Chain A
Amino acid sequence: MKINGGKSTSATPRLPKSPTGIQGLDEITDGGLPRGRPTLVCGGAGCGKTLLAAEFLVRGAVQFGEPGVFMAFEETEKELKANVASLGFDLTGLVRRKKIVVDYVHIERSEFQESGEYDLEGLFVRLNHAIDSIGAKRVVLDTLEVLFASLPNEAILRSELRRLFRWLKEKGVTAVLTAERGREALTRHGLEEYVSDCVILLDHRVNDQIATRHLRVVKYRGALHGTNEFPFLIGAAGISVLPITSLALNHKVSTARIATGISRLDAMLGGRGFFRGSSILLTGTPGTGKTIISSNFAQAAARRGERVLFFSFEESPDQIIRNMHSIGLRLEPLVKRGLLRFHSARPSLYGLEMHLATMFKEIATFQPHVVIIDPITSLMDSGTDSEGKGMVTRLIDFLKAGQITSLFTSLTQGGHALQQSEAAMSSLMDSWLLLQDFEGNGERNRVLYVLKARGMAHSNQIREFLISDRGIDLVDAYIGASGVLTGSARAAQGALEKAAVLTSQQEAARRKRELERKREAIERQINGLRSDYESETMELRRIDEQVGTSTLMLTTERTASGILRQADAKVPASPRGKARNGNGTR
Chain B
Amino acid sequence: MKIKPGKPRAAHAPRQLAQLWQLRLYVVDQSPQSRTAFANLKQFCESHLKGRYRITVIDLVKQPQLAKGDQILAIPTVVRKLPKPVRTLIGNLSDTARVLVGLDLRAAD
Q: Which residues of A contact B (CB under 8 A)?
A: 103, 105-107, 111-123, 125-126, 128-129, 147, 151
Alpha-carbon distance between A118 and B102 when the two chains are bound, in angstroms: 15
Q: Is the CB of A122 within 8 A of B92?
A: no
User: Considering the chains assembled together, what is the distance between the CA atoms of A121 and B73 in angstroms?
Assistant: 7
Given A106-B71, A128-B64, decide whether A114 and B89 contact each other with a Cβ distance below 8 A: yes
Of the residues A105, A113, A121, contact of B88 by C-beta under 8 Å? A113
Docked CA distance A116–B74 (Å): 12
Chain B residues within CB distance 8 Å of chain A = 26, 28, 31, 33, 36-37, 40, 60-61, 64-65, 67-68, 71-77, 87-96, 98-99, 101-102
- On whether the beta carbons of B28 and A125 are closer than 8 Å, the reply is yes
Question: How far, in angstroms, from A303 to B76 measured CA to CA in the complex?
Answer: 77
A-B contact list, 6 entries, CB within 8 Å = A117-B92, A117-B94, A118-B90, A121-B28, A129-B65, A151-B74
Which one of A103, A105, A114, A126 contacts B98 once the chains associate, using CB atoms below 8 Å? A114
B65–A115 CB distance below 8 A: no
Most chain-A Cβ atoms within 10 A of its Cβ — which of B76, B90, B99? B90
Contact B73 A105 (CB under 8 A): yes
Grouping DSSP codes into helix (H, G, I), strand (E, B) and loop, the B interface class, with mixed when no group exceeds half, is mixed
Contact among B33, B68, B99 for A119, CB-based, below 8 A: B33
Within the complex, the shortest CB–CB distance from B45 to chain A, in Å, comes to 14
20 additional A-B residue pairs with CB within 8 Å, beyond A116-B93, A125-B72: A107-B71, A113-B98, A113-B102, A115-B89, A115-B92, A115-B96, A115-B98, A115-B99, A118-B33, A118-B75, A118-B91, A118-B92, A122-B67, A122-B72, A125-B60, A125-B67, A126-B64, A126-B67, A126-B68, A151-B74
Max chain B C-beta neighbours (<10 A), residue from A122, A126, A129: A122
Query: Complex: how many Å from CA A121 to CA B65?
Result: 14
Q: Most A CB atoms within 10 A — which of B71, B101, B102?
A: B71
Contact B67 A107 (CB under 8 A): no
Please name the 5 residue pairs, one residue from A and one from B, whose CB atoms are nearest each other, closest first: A113-B102, A129-B64, A116-B94, A116-B91, A112-B88
Given contacts A103-B68, A122-B77, A125-B60, contact A114 B31 (CB under 8 A): no
> Within the assembled complex, what's the spacing in Å between the Cα atoms of A116 and B67?
20
Q: Which residues of B contact A147 (CB under 8 A)?
A: 73
Minimum CB distance partner of B98 in chain A: A115
Whether the pair A122, B98 counts as a contact (CB closer than 8 A) is no
Shortest CB–CB separation between residue B79 and chain A, in angstroms? 9
Q: Are B71 and A115 in contact (CB under 8 A)?
A: no
* Bound-complex Cα distance A120 to B28 (A): 11
CB distance from A108 to the nearest CB of B (A): 9
In the bound complex, do residue A121 and residue B64 qualify as a contact, i.e. CB atoms below 8 Å apart?
no
